[in-house]
């Protein structure tokens, strides 16, 4: 759960910093939007088939975000600069237990969706400070440093590139992520 939290948590935190823990669908079925949000630019609310869940539909914006998050999680898992922060998750996955990975992906996807303007999802997970504090989040191994955050940003760019995220959208996301550095870095 930490990998993704570290990655897109930073992205969406700026808008949703004060919420509590987990993700769920909102009951508001008709949000009003003024102008085009970053979420709309990422695919918006148009429903498409969910390749991870045959027979299910997903908002195109959410699918695009989830794809980038999932790719980034895998990039982080292979990155010796920061993967030591996620030993709990990596150990679970190594044993074939994908529940922590699934939770992380879902939480980060919702977090980023909210941060980019989605109206149909509410992030209620840990705030970024608590999510990256091992004293509060026992899934986090060690506090993040500036070097860790920079490595995370690099991994996010790589994950986004694997999904061919256009540069203008990546730049918008990068600004949000960078704005979270002072909250995530605690060392």
CB 94, CB 101: distance < 8 Å: no
Look at residue 31 in the predicted model and tell me its pLDDT: 40
Tens of pLDDT along 124-135?
A: 999 999 999 999
Decide if pLDDT at 146 tops 50.
yes
Residue 12 belongs to a domain: yes
Task: Report, as an integer, the average pLDDT of 160-187.
Answer: 92
Give the phi and the psi of residue 116 in degrees, each rounded to 5: -100, 0
Residue 11 within a domain: yes
Q: What whole-number distance in Å separates Cα of residue 97 and Cα of residue 145? A: 29
Residue 32 lies in a domain: no
Give the Cα separation of 114 and 121 in Å (integer): 7
Query: With 60 as the cut, is the pLDDT of residue 30 above it?
Result: no
Report how far apart, in Å, the C-alpha atoms of 170 and of each of 48, 78, 134 are.
22, 21, 29
Domain membership flag for residue 29: no
Specify the higher pLDDT residue, 56 or 115. Answer: 56
Share of the chain above pLDDT 70, in %: 82
The answer to whether residue 42 scores a pLDDT higher than 70 is: yes
Domain span at residue 99 reads: 2-24+37-184
d(CA 58, CA 154): 28
Domain count, the chain: 1
For position 187, what pLDDT does the model report?
Answer: 83
Would 48 be classed as within a structural domain? yes
Q: Does 84 map to a domain?
A: yes
pLDDT at 4 over 80: no
Do the domain assignments include residue 31? no
Does 30 reside within a domain? no
Is 170 in contact with 160 (CB distance < 8 Å)? yes
Model confidence at 35, in pLDDT bands (50, 70, 90)? confident
**Integer Cα distance of 115 and 112 in angstroms:** 5
Quote the CA–CA distance of 179 and 183 in Å, as a whole number: 8
Higher pLDDT, 6 or 136: 136
Instruction: Write down the mean pLDDT value for the chain.
Output: 84
Of residues 96 and 19, more confidently modeled:
96
Using the predicted structure, report yes or no on whether residue 50 has a pLDDT greater than 60. Answer: yes
């Amino acid at each position: 759960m930490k990998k993704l939290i570290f990655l897109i948590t930073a992205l969406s935190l700026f808008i949703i910093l004060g919420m509590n823990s987990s993700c769920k669908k909102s009951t508001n079925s008709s949000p009003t939007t003024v102008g085009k949000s970053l979420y709309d630019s990422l695919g918006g609310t148009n429903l498409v088939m969910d390749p991870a869940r045959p027979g299910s539909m997903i908002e195109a914006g959410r699918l695009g975000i989830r794809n980038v998050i999932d790719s980034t999680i895998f990039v982080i898992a292979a990155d010796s600069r920061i993967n030591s922060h996620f030993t709990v998750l990596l150990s679970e996955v190594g044993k074939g237990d994908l529940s922590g990975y699934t939770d992380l992906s879902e939480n980060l996807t919702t977090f980023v969706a909210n941060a980019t303007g989605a109206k149909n999802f509410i992030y209620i997970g840990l705030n970024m400070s608590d999510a990256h504090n091992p004293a509060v989040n026992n899934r986090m191994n060690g506090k993040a440093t500036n070097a860790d955050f920079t490595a995370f940003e690099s991994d996010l760019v790589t994950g986004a590139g694997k999904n061919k995220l256009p540069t203008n959208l990546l730049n918008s996301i990068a600004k949000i992520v960078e704005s979270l550095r002072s909250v995530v870095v605690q060392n």
